[in-house]
Structure 1
């Protein structure tokens, strides 16, 4: 089976009220688009909500894979709750990226690697906003499909 990957991005201070829409979006991506792998970060509230939504949908669709995007090479696997994820992904070439740019570069790499993006961005002057703009450019080139939760919630 071909892997169809969806990266999920949002603000670190996302409110929990977004969760029901996020879970519906995850379920829709599995059922309608055939997405079978979701890539999430772990540094903010959106990442926690996204991972939880995928874990809940996995109960209905056990073939779904939840992958943690790890931007830092030196990060110890023991500091990560590895039992909550099926895979941990450290993108290649990241070892040459300065520490302060690692999350931004890893997120961009994840967008380049993904077929779909689920985003919750309500502040455009932000890293999440810049990444969404980049993903939308890739979408116009036919390289990915972008789903903005913000369009449905605001």
Structure 2
């Protein structure tokens, strides 16, 4: 199953001017993986890159109805402190996702780390947007590489 699954990880803060370029690369990479038999796309539901990825998978489902969006969330209140527009976007993505996995019943230290590990542990592929050598995205990408995932960094293309 791992060979048919791709996870996403990336920064929450993407410069708006880069969105069109990243979206184009993301669409290309997802379509490439679909052509190789990948059907499941796991996303952490965070703002920024996660949201972009979830929206792209949902858009591509129109052309590729067999693909599935799986949201792997750290805890139920992840979006409680977000701005209203971001919450509406998040709730829409949750509504249209094929599956929602909650890794913790409530916030606890390490719940984001646990979510990231879950995403990688169930994937054979990882598409990321990584521009910094430290932080959660860097740790997740390093873990994915150690686990043998093929990793594609959209920031490096």
Match of 1:118 in 2: 127
Match of 1:149 in 2: 154
**Gaps spanning 5+ residues in structure 2: where?**
81-89
Match of 1:70 in 2: 73
1:84 and 2:93 aligned: no
**Gaps spanning 5+ residues in structure 1: where?**
none
Match of 2:11 in 1: 11
Superposed, 1:1-150 pairs within 5 Å as 4-15=4-15, 16-17=19-20, 18-31=22-35, 33-72=36-75, 80-81=91-92, 82-91=94-103, 94=104, 99-139=108-148, 144-150=149-155
Superposition deviation, residue 151 in structure 1:
2.4
CA distance in 1, matches of 2:23, 2:5: 20
Cα deviation 1:70-108 (Å, max 9, x = unaligned): 1115679xx8333221110124xx45x961321121111
CA distance in 1, matches of 2:121, 2:95: 26
| TM-score, length basis structure 2 | 0.79
CA distance in 2, matches of 1:14, 1:117: 18
CA distance in 2, matches of 1:51, 1:80: 12
| TM-score, length basis structure 1 | 0.81
Superposition deviation, residue 37 in structure 1:
0.7
Call closer, same or farther: CA 1:88–1:98 in 2, change over 3 Å. Answer: closer
Contact residue 120 and residue 126 of structure 2 kept, 8 A:
yes
